[in-house]
Amino acid sequence: MPAKRTILAALTLTLLSGATAQKATTVRLGFFPNLTHAPALIGIEKGYFKAAFGNTKLETKDFVSGTTLTEAFAAGQIDIGYVGPGPAINAAARGMPVQVIANAANAGAVLIARKDAGIKTFKDLAGKKVAVPSLGNTQDISLRHLLVENGLKTKDAGGNVTITPVAPADVAAAFASKQIDATLVPEPWGALLQKQGHVLVGDEKTIWRGGDYPTAVVIVNAKFAQENPNLVQAFLKAHLQAITLLSKNPPAAQLAVSAQLQKLTNQKVDPRVLQLALKRTKFTADLNLDAFREYGDLNKEAGYARTLPDFSTLVNLAPLKSARGK
C-alpha cells in the first residue's frame, strides 16, 4: 500500500507539473496589417502558428497601432503580440507584465509628403501637419526625434509642426482631401503613396541609425510565458519559420503577405509596390539591444515617459535561443 501511495503521489506531481508547463487552451495573438509585421501575416496565412500550437486554439486580432494593442494587452485580451519598440517600452514603464522575446523587423518606415505640399526636406515640415499611425507609437517617437535633429518643434512643445494620428490605410484619402501634408508611415503604405506620385522625403535609412533599428518586436505576457513555456517555444519556432521564408523564398513570402493584407484591409497591394516595400524592410529575430534602449531615451525626449523600465527584465531572449536549439 505505501508503494502505491508513493506512485500515486508521483503521478499527481507529474500531472501538476504538466499543468504548470501549459495552462492555456487558447493563444491570443495581436499584430498590425503592416509589412513590418510580415512574420505574423505569414505565420497566419501559411498556418505556421496553428501547426505549432497543435490542439491549442489560435485567436488573432489586428490593430491599427501599438497604442491600441497595448491597451488590449493591459486589459488581458492579448497573450502574444507584434508591436513597435516604443509602445513595448512604454507599456513596461507603466508596470504592464510585458516581456520582449524576439525582434521581428528593422527599418521599414518612410517619410512621405503630399505631392503638392511643397515638402522636399525634413526642414520643410515647418508649419505642416504630419500624420503618424497613433500618438506615442514608434513612428511618432521617431518623427519627434527627427524634428529635434532638424531644429523644429511640435505645437505642443511651442513649435509649429502638428502631429496627428491617421491609420496608415487611410493616409491616401487624407492626402486626397488635404487634411495632412506628410506622414511617417510603415510599409507597404509608404511605397503605395510613392507609387501614387507623392514625394519620398526620408527613406528607411535616413529616418534613424542608418536603418539599423527595430520597428517591430514580439512581446508576451510574462505570466502567460511562465505558465505556458511550451506554447511560447512553439510560437517562436513558427516565428522563425516565417522569417526564414522571407529570406529564403521572397516570392512565396510576398504572396502570403499580399493575401493577408487584402483579407485585413480589403486593399490589393500592387506586387511592384510590395517588392519596393520589402527592400526597405529587414526581417530578423535578432534584437539590436543598443537601438532598443535608445528608443527608451527617445520616449523620454518625446515626453511619453519620465522613467525607463529595467531592460534586463523587459528583454528575455532565452526562449528564442531555445527555439533555435542553442
Asked whether residue 5 carries a pLDDT value surpassing 50, the answer given is no
- If pLDDT is split at 50, 70 and 90, which confidence band does 169 have? confident
Q: Which numeric CATH code is attached to 109-203?
A: 3.40.190.10
C-beta separation of 177 from 144 below 8 A: no
- For residue 141, which of 226, 213, 196, 200 has the smallest C-alpha distance? 213
| Residue 272 neighbours by CB under 8 Å, 6+ apart | 195
Three-state secondary structure call for residue 186: strand
pLDDT digits (tens, 9 = 90+) for 120-133: 999 999 999 999 99
pLDDT at 304: 84
- For residue 185, which of 39, 295, 35, 300 has the smallest C-alpha distance? 35
pTM of the model: 0.87
Q: What single-letter DSSP state applies at residue 25?
A: S
Asked whether residue 54 carries a pLDDT value surpassing 70, the answer given is yes
Give domain limits for the chain. 26-107+213-324, 109-203
The average pLDDT across 237-250 equals 97
pLDDT digits (tens, 9 = 90+) for 123-166: 999 999 999 998 988 899 999 999 999 999 999 889 999 999 99
C-beta separation of 104 from 285 below 8 A: yes
Amino acid at 118: G
- The H-or-E segment that residue 164 falls in is strand 162-165
pLDDT at 18: 40
Distance from C-alpha of 251 to C-alpha of 130, rounded to nearest angstrom: 33
Task: Write b or e for each residue in 55-89: b if 16 or more Cβ atoms lie within 10 A of its Cβ, otherwise e.
Answer: ebebebebbbbbbbbbeebeeeebbbbbbbbbbbb
The average pLDDT across 198-218 equals 94
What architecture is domain 26-107+213-324? 3-Layer(aba) Sandwich (3.40)
Amino acid at 257: V
Asked whether residue 221 carries a pLDDT value surpassing 70, the answer given is yes
pLDDT digits (tens, 9 = 90+) for 298-314: 988 888 888 899 999 99
pLDDT digits (tens, 9 = 90+) for 22-42: 689 999 999 999 999 999 999
Three-state secondary structure call for residue 161: strand
> Within a 13 Å sphere around the CA of 256, how many CA atoms are in the beta-carbon half?
21
pLDDT digits (tens, 9 = 90+) for 84-95: 998 899 899 989
Asked whether residue 8 carries a pLDDT value surpassing 70, the answer given is no
Distance from C-alpha of 40 to C-alpha of 24, rounded to nearest angstrom: 20
Asked whether residue 2 carries a pLDDT value surpassing 60, the answer given is no
Distance from C-alpha of 79 to C-alpha of 73, rounded to nearest angstrom: 7
Asked whether residue 15 carries a pLDDT value surpassing 80, the answer given is no
pLDDT at 265: 87
pLDDT at 33: 92
- If pLDDT is split at 50, 70 and 90, which confidence band does 11 have? very low
**26-107+213-324 and 109-203: same fold?**
yes
